[in-house]
Amino acid sequence: MTPHTPPRSALRRTSRKAPRRTAPVAGLALAASLLVPASLAGPAHASAPAPAPAPPPSRQPVATGSGGAVSTVDPDASRTALEVLRQGGNAMDAAIAAGATLGVTEPYVAAIGGGGYLTYYDAKKRRVYGIDGRETAPGRMSATSFVDPATGKALPFDEAVTSGLGVGVPGTLAQWQSALRRFGTRDLGSLLRPAARIADKGFVVDQEFHDQTAVNEARFRDIVPTRELFLPGGKVPAVGSTFRNPDLARTYREIARRGPGWLYRGGLGAEVARTVRKPPVDPKAARKVRPGLMEPRDLAAYGALSKRPTRVSYRGMDVYGMPPSSSGGSTVGEALNILGNFHLDSRDPVRALHYYLEASKLAYADRGRYVGDPAKVAVPLEELLSSGFARERACLIKPDRAAAAPVAPGSPDGSYTPCVPPGRSTRALAYEGPQTTHLVVADKWGNVVAYNVSIEQFGGSGITVPGRGFLLNNELTDFTLQPPAPGSPPDPNLPGPGKRPRSSMAPTLVLKDGRPRLALGTPGGSTIITTVLQILLNRIDLGMDLPAALAAPRATQRNTPQVFAEPAFIERYGRALAARGHRLEAFPGPPQGVIGAATALEILRPGVVQAVAEPVRRGGGSALVVRPGR
């Protein structure tokens, strides 16, 4: 089969005769040719990952209503954002207040010691903007900084993670400041107050927080301020106990008083740089924790970047994402462009999933070869997102047989033929930790935020700034740690001074006729891209409503020999996809068998929003609206 251009289709008004959905979607549906049969629509929620304890009542995965909406992984963060919306704040104000709260209640994935990416739809200007708050490497970092001179090989990954060497200059505070100056209506100090109160008062430890602490217990014990903060009394906090962080409360209040300049040009920055250069390791610990390279001048040189988002058209809609240094927008966009060459029918989900996996495989090959920090390397972004390049890549996909992976990258050179033979040169998938978080917010004026924030691994570097209550990131381990062998293609993601490591974070906005329809994103390291892609496939091509699209079982193909998948995905689709040559294996995690923890929202009709969080994964999320009702 050769790819063809399918008829234009898009989300549109639901026919009264359309099949009943898992949750009603007033005002949005698929084109008639893509409507899902009742036999497929019903069990979408039942296909979620393996059963887990039901989330507590405060964790509501779906909320529909007006006046504004929010979805995060945490009830406290969602409630904080909702209160900002109720008090007249806009979506940007609420997103930053939620992010600050996540720094308290989700300290192992979100903290002011990290960074992230944000996309924003400005309803007044009817434009989408991006803000890059990615961490940067210190000025003394080189391509061989992670190479052990004694062996000539990259440091063991765990050793690179738990070190000062892996800590990048934090970008979160600069990003918040930039976002509020351009789009906010409240000052940062007022938005930090709710989070400071929660840090003082404490929050109830749930199973997820307990488990994340337990996973980190050994290295946390070796770093004195981390042990004192996160192992109170020398123990992993028990489920149901109250966890307090008065150090972080004081830090937030001091930031409110002094401003972000306290980190980038003041005393807090000096403390961060000193902690990185001399990690506070227990003298009795046997663990080797390497010093980092950060100096106060590295913090002073940092700036959050305003970015023009990527944009591709898919089934009559415009999909916006983060440009490099993130690979999220370019790789999601390229894969959608490839999929746009095929007619995907909800009556044949196996075939649609086959094309999804193959498109992901090709896009990841190109991501690894071409995407890095555009301030330091040439990234052919326009060509990667061109229709000609997508068609050339689509020509490699066989309808009944998976290509052997890893596949070679293409040539985004502006000269495209109908089909090209597969090459052989490729690069192994670089490791990215799956531990980040994502939130979405919409306000009553129609502004929408999709925001990814991270410190990389669960617990980041494991290094807490003494007396400040927050962990430092290990984002620099997202660089390629080992330079390529002589004669190999250049690697765009090698470490370098002031360079931003490549990321997969993909805060994504979908517009129809210039108005927002969907906002979505997820944690998951390099699986972020495939999770966002699969949710879009589920919603747009397979006819699921948004709650079902998030709950459906997931698989990720990142140009590896295996397709890693959740158990429910393997149970449902494994045999049929294996017949096409896909080799499915259980996703190793962490967490084992669970891919991502998405948050999303959909504008059902003017003024009515549906916020959606995970019903089960990672304990479930929290979706809230200002005024419930359909």
**Active site residue ranges:** 436
386: helix, coil or strand? coil
**E strands in 6-126:** 62-72, 115-122
Measured distance CA(601)–CA(450) in Å, rounded: 9
- As to burial, measured by CB atoms within 10 angstroms (0-12 exposed, 13-18 middle, 19+ buried), residue 417 is exposed
Kindly write down the DSSP assignment for every residue of 67-87, as one continuous string.
EEEEEES-HHHHHHHHHHHHT
Continuous segment of H or E residues that includes residue 364? helix 349-370
Find out whether the peptide bond into 590 is cis, omega within 30 degrees of 0.
yes
| Closest by Cα among 423, 421, 419, 365 to 392 | 419
3-state secondary structure 398-420: ECCECCCCCCCCCCCCCCCCCCC
d(CA 508, CA 524): 15
Q: Which two tokens stand for residue 186?
A: 């409240």
Rounded Cα distance, 560 and 611, in Å: 33
What is the length of the chain? Answer: 630
Neighbours of 314 (CB within 10 A): 20
Tokens for 85? 């919306």
Query: Sign of the C-alpha dihedral, residues 132, 598, 470, 474?
Result: negative
Which residues share a beta bridge with 519? 509, 601
- Scored b (16 or more CB within 10 A) or e, 264-274 reads bbbebbebbbb
Could you tell me which residues come within 8 angstroms of residue 175 by beta carbon, excluding any fewer than 6 positions away?
115, 116, 118, 131, 132, 133, 304
Residue 488's CB: how many other CB atoms inside 10 A?
A: 10
Short-list 479, 432, 361, CA closest to 596: 432
Amino acid at 215: V
Structure tokens at 169: 């200059």
Burial class (CB within 10 angstroms; exposed 0-12, middle 13-18, buried 19+) of 52: middle
Query: Radius of gyration of the chain from Cα atoms?
Result: 23
The one-letter code for the residue type at 99 is G
